[in-house]
């Protein structure tokens, strides 16, 4: 589900992160009705957050507009989510409940290319919801924490990409999966989110190839040379 | 001047980007007084922007607070800078007027490590002015454009680092300097600004080494293999 889960990147939550979560089993078997209602309200509210964020960005996101759009009483929204940061955090947390898995093509470079392609698609999507969520994380500590949890979840799921490559003999044993994954994906965020370089169809593959070449050369297998001496 | 100009990163403007600019030659030789006064006001105002940004962040930055702190009439500030985005853009543009040059240690990996160290220092500085400027660029198109101009200026200045390495025979001829520099520095921004990983003294050197190994392996010398066919 590429558009839904851009690898270790931020979730592109447009399709259904909240619905996904909402369709998870209710909290307990004995209280089906309340569980269902709670989940339904969460779905409505998180969908409304995404829609408002896509239309107006963080600056236009208000508790009242979300409540109105979700057709949920505003006191419910305030009681359950507290503030806009709480809403965004829940959108991001809901995204970790999906069943996204990284690509498995049989080649490290191809796996990383597809992963980067998913990230690029998410960062360039219109409306720019993923970019808006990342921007919001600069302004809300709650959203920032949730964004970090989501990235951590995605990078953790992607570690198997590296262990498969080690098992195939593509990479030296002891390759640090997280460092490799960050090296492969960092240029996507840097170029698309900060430098705003024009969209480049070669970017995902180039960043993937760079990380794969460095990995084969042992960049992620050992501690760096002691700094300060030769 | 490491703390002043973290390589291709955002300027750490605390010391003197505005003063630097203000001390540049006045616009013309015949109107010394107005040139001097204009420059002086700019210095006062941009210094006030940095101080306010450091204390209150973007959300607390107002035209009136800047005018009061700079001891400049508010109508002057409004007339000349328009809005908060205009102030931030001028802070960033002023930073490009310095004489920063990239490190030149005689080794690509060391040059890139020092560059990344400057970026790390700037991104982790207290008060977090560079981080605040980058965060502001998500909210003001003027600030975003100025931030991109600053990065472009820094990356352009750093290209000599790569051409020196090619000349020394460390890198293959035809190595794309910009792509190498982005690969080397992107993990700094990704980890420190987005992932908020705990500060790690090895990070600058590791990111530098990764990019250098990839460069030696030819990651930046040729177009990527055609996608979609073997």
Determine contact: B144 vs chain A, CB below 8 A.
Answer: yes
In contact, A176 and A157? CB cutoff 8 Å: no
Determine contact: B211 vs chain A, CB below 8 A.
Answer: yes
Q: What is the count of residue pairs from A and B with beta carbons less than 8 Å apart?
A: 115
Taking CA atoms, A101 is separated from A77, A98, A115, in Å, by 32, 9, 10
Nearest-Cα distance to chain B for A209, in Å, is 7
Q: Does A108-216 match A17-95 at the fold level?
A: yes
- Candidate from A137, A189, A195 with C-beta closest to B190: A189
Question: Taking Cα atoms as reference points, which of B10, B50, B4, B17 lies closest to residue B193?
Answer: B10
Does the pLDDT value for residue A90 go beyond 50? yes
Does the pLDDT value for residue A176 go beyond 70? yes
> Which band of pLDDT confidence, cut at 50, 70 and 90, is reported for residue A67?
very high
Report which DSSP code applies to B226.
P
Chain A partners of B113 at a C-beta cutoff of 8 Å? 227
Q: Which helix (H) or strand (E) covers residue A75, if one does?
A: helix A74-81
- Candidate from B138, B151, B219 with C-beta closest to A210: B219
The model's pLDDT over A110-146, given as tens digits with 9 standing for 90+, comes to 999 999 999 999 999 998 899 889 988 888 899 999 9
Name residues 155-194 of chain A within 8 A of B (Cβ): 179, 182-183, 185-187, 189-191, 193-194
Provide, rounded to the nearest whole percent, the portion of chain B with pLDDT above 90.
67
Determine contact: A219 vs chain B, CB below 8 A.
Answer: yes
| HSE (side-chain half, CA atoms, 13 Å) at B212 | 19
Task: Tell me what the mean pLDDT of segment B2-11 comes to.
Answer: 40
Inspect the interface and report whether the beta carbons of A113 and B202 lie closer than 8 Å: no
Question: Taking Cα atoms as reference points, which of B94, B182, B91 lies closest to residue B140?
Answer: B91
Inspect the interface and report whether the beta carbons of A213 and B219 lie closer than 8 Å: yes
Inspect the interface and report whether the beta carbons of B213 and A210 lie closer than 8 Å: no
Taking CA atoms, A34 is separated from A29, A40, A43, A136, B141, in Å, by 11, 10, 14, 32, 45
Does the pLDDT value for residue B50 go beyond 90? yes
Question: Taking Cα atoms as reference points, which of B212, A75, B56, A167 lies closest to residue A175?
Answer: A167
Determine contact: A141 vs chain B, CB below 8 A.
Answer: no
Determine contact: A202 vs chain B, CB below 8 A.
Answer: yes
> What's the confidence (pLDDT) of residue B11?
43
Provide, rounded to the nearest whole percent, the portion of chain A with pLDDT above 90.
67
Task: Tell me what the mean pLDDT of segment A157-176 comes to.
Answer: 97
The model's pLDDT over B108-151, given as tens digits with 9 standing for 90+, comes to 999 999 999 999 999 999 988 998 899 888 888 999 999 999 99
The model's pLDDT over B214-223, given as tens digits with 9 standing for 90+, comes to 999 999 997 5
> Which band of pLDDT confidence, cut at 50, 70 and 90, is reported for residue B63?
very high
Inspect the interface and report whether the beta carbons of B211 and A214 lie closer than 8 Å: yes
Determine contact: A206 vs chain B, CB below 8 A.
Answer: yes
Cβ within 8 Å of residue A214, ≥6 positions away:
A180, A183, A220, B210, B211, B213, B214, B217, B219
Of the given ranges (A115-119, A134-138, A169-173, B174-178), which has the lowest mean pLDDT?
A134-138
Does the pLDDT value for residue A147 go beyond 50? yes
Inspect the interface and report whether the beta carbons of A224 and B202 lie closer than 8 Å: yes
- Candidate from A135, A151, A182 with C-beta closest to B138: A135
Chain A partners of B213 at a C-beta cutoff of 8 Å? 213-214, 217-219
The domain over range B17-95 is classified in CATH as 1.10.357.10: yes
Determine contact: B195 vs chain A, CB below 8 A.
Answer: yes
Chain A partners of B205 at a C-beta cutoff of 8 Å? 224-225, 227
Nearest-Cα distance to chain B for A30, in Å, is 40
Does the pLDDT value for residue B13 go beyond 80? no
> What's the confidence (pLDDT) of residue A217?
96
Round to whole Å and give the CA distance between A120 and B91. Answer: 30
Does ipTM exceed 0.85? Answer: no
> What's the confidence (pLDDT) of residue B35?
66
Inspect the interface and report whether the beta carbons of B210 and A207 lie closer than 8 Å: no
Q: Cis bond leading into A79, ω under 30°?
A: no
Domain segments of chain A as ranges? 17-95, 108-216
Q: Name the residue in chain B with its Cα closest to that of A58.
A: B139
Pick the CATH number of B108-216 from 1.10.357.10, 1.25.40.340, 3.60.10.10, 3.40.50.12780: 1.10.357.10
> Which band of pLDDT confidence, cut at 50, 70 and 90, is reported for residue A26?
very low
Determine contact: B146 vs chain A, CB below 8 A.
Answer: no
Round to whole Å and give the CA distance between B164 and B168. Answer: 6
């Amino acid at each position: 589900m590429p558009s839904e889960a851009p690898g270790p990147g931020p979730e592109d939550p447009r399709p259904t992160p909240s619905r996904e979560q909402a369709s998870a089993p209710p909290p307990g078997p004995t209280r089906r009705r309340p569980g269902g209602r709670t989940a339904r309200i969460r779905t409505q509210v998180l969908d409304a957050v995404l829609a408002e964020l896509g239309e107006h960005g963080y600056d236009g996101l208000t508790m009242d507009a979300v409540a109105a759009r979700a057709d949920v009483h505003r006191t419910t929204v305030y009681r359950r989510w507290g503030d806009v940061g709480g809403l965004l955090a829940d959108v991001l947390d809901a995204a970790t409940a999906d069943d996204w898995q990284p690509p498995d093509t049989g080649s490290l470079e191809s796996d990383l290319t597809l992963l980067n392609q998913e990230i690029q698609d998410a960062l360039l999507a219109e409306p720019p919801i993923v970019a808006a969520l990342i921007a919001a994380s600069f302004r809300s500590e709650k959203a920032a924490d949730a964004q970090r949890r989501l990235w951590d979840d995605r990078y953790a799921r992607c570690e198997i990409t590296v262990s498969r490559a080690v098992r195939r003999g593509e990479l030296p044993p002891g390759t640090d999966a997280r460092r490799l994954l960050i090296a492969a994906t960092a240029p996507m965020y840097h170029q698309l989110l900060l430098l705003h370089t024009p969209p480049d169809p070669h970017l995902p593959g180039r960043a993937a190839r760079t990380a794969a070449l460095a990995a084969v050369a042992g960049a992620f297998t050992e501690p760096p040379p002691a700094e300060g001496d030769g």
